[in-house]
Chain A
């Protein structure tokens, strides 16, 4: 096998079809970048789910004196026996793993910490304004609907906020984004395959003289086909490199800014990104090789 012979043939082929080659590279790059984004969203969701699984809880806010919530109109604040009663009811529910009580003072501390950079807002609120609440952890946070329904009907409960519900909405959004990315990636993969097919066909037509002579003097099929397949591989690899750059950019500007809002300690790591890039590169090259090989069978009689 004469490597430099093959490579000079490949180089000639790529140069002759420069515009088609660029089209292939761009299409493969965008397809692979979208596929990569889909995979990265997947990894992110997995990490976030893992992170939140031990942390989600249901906040059961209790009515306080002169509460604005309509359900609290009749009760003028809760006394200790009423609170104890609610706590026992919650504890008795089969889905519940643990219950903790958060006093107004504790809630105010958390509030102050959260809005530390907005002292005006903090100064307008007093500790008594903060509602008391029970923090309920479920055995299985994903099955909350029954528990939340029951908790809402308890007397003296002003409001029930379920983290899982908020998270689910967020995950749902990510899921839709992921599917959108994958669908568009799929369409682009199809157009990449068609483009590669056309490029190979043009290339085979341009070089029919050479391949005819190669056939005649007994060059092996591998020798005749390899330059065409290599053209596909190189276009696929270049597309993969561009896709890798796009993925790194999206990790820095997209995923890391999302994490500021919700994902705190569940950062998408560079490990994940490296894995996704490797995978998309392999997929890109394999698609290119298969597409060139299949079209070669049709347009290059051996």
Chain B
């Protein structure tokens, strides 16, 4: 599903590469944690998958497409197959829960009948039933992140990228967030989650890819956050 082949990314005005000859494979339906300290290249990895950045060398395949051969014109279509969740939720403050989720479908031109059908389903999937008409500032952090996940998943993407989704949320609430991610993963969606949160990684027992200074230092199925087993 995601295939990095010897990928190097150096940002302009920086000597040290953000990713240094990284090769990794993520299969369809996998759940992968991307761990490592700040600046280790986790976010760069996610940005490269979205084609928000281009690698300096190496090839990236996402959903069967080689990204360097994908014209700019087709990038939006790639992004429709990838859902994104961030630490800061990125909800629209002047729209309620339903409208925030529906926005993702409106802007890709889905018919209104379809939107009316699928949005309530997804709101229920993330556990926000009955809160569709709340505004974001009336929700807790965990609930806001659920809205963001509903928006990321409403178009049934093949891949869900989560960049520190529990970074702004207390540990108790984080468990709920992880349950939703797990539920999404069980529908067959590939999930890649970048995180610092050792407790979560340890409790989930999923594949762990550890980055350090742009290099993969560990790739372990059913791994934990720390070095030791």
A residues within 8 Å of B by Cβ? Answer: 1-2, 5, 209-210, 212-221, 223-224, 302
> Inside 8 A of A220's CB, which chain B residues have their CB?
76, 108-109
Q: How far is the CA of A223 from the CA of B109 in the complex (A)?
A: 9
Q: Which chain A residue lies CB-closest to B112? A: A2
Kindly identify which residue among B50, B90, B107 contacts A219, using a CB–CB cutoff of 8 Å. B107
The total of chain B residues at the interface (CB under 8 A) is 22
What are 29 contact pairs spanning A and B, CB under 8 A?
A1-B109, A2-B106, A2-B109, A209-B92, A210-B103, A213-B92, A213-B103, A213-B107, A213-B151, A215-B76, A216-B50, A216-B79, A216-B84, A217-B79, A217-B104, A218-B76, A218-B79, A218-B80, A218-B108, A218-B155, A219-B107, A220-B76, A220-B108, A220-B109, A221-B76, A223-B107, A223-B108, A223-B109, A302-B72
Kindly provide the distance from the CB of B97 to the nearest chain A CB, expressed in whole angstroms: 14
**Contact A217-B109, Cβ < 8 Å, known A209-B92, A210-B92:** no
Contacts of A218 in B (CB 8 A): 76-82, 108, 155
The 10 closest A-B pairs by CB, nearest first: A218-B80, A218-B79, A219-B107, A217-B104, A218-B76, A214-B107, A220-B76, A5-B106, A216-B84, A223-B107
User: Measured between C-beta atoms, what is the minimum distance from A244 to chain B in Å?
Assistant: 35
Bits for B99-113, please: 1 = Cβ < 8 Å to A, else 0.
000011011110010
CA distance A187 to B187 in the complex (A): 61
In the bound complex, residues from chain A placing their C-beta under 8 Å from that of B103 are: 210, 213, 217
In the assembled complex, which residues on chain A have CB atoms less than 8 Å from the CB atom of B151? 213, 217
Q: Which residue of A lies closest to B106 (CB)?
A: A5
Question: Taking beta carbons and an 8 Å cutoff, which residues of B are in contact with A?
Answer: 50, 72-73, 76-82, 84, 90, 92, 103-104, 106-109, 112, 151, 155
Task: Known contacts A5-B106, A223-B107, A223-B109; decide if A215 and B79 are in contact (CB<8 Å).
Answer: yes
Q: Quick one: closest B residue to A302, CB to CB?
A: B72
Residue of B nearest to A8 (CB): B106
State in angstroms the CA–CA spacing of A38 and B151 once bound together: 55
Given known A-B contacts A218-B76, A218-B78, A209 and B90 have beta carbons under 8 A apart: yes
Q: How far is the CB of A271 from chain B (nearest CB, A)?
A: 43
Chain B residue nearest to A216 (CB atoms) is B84
Contact pick for A217, options B72, B73, B112, B155, CB 8 Å: B155
Q: A217-B107, A217-B151, A223-B107 are in contact. List 14 more A-B contacts (CB 8 A).
A: A209-B92, A210-B103, A212-B90, A214-B107, A215-B79, A216-B79, A216-B84, A217-B79, A217-B103, A218-B81, A218-B82, A218-B108, A219-B76, A224-B107
| A5 partner, pick from B78, B79, B84, B107, beta carbons under 8 A | B107
Minimum Cβ distance to chain B for residue A272 (Å): 44
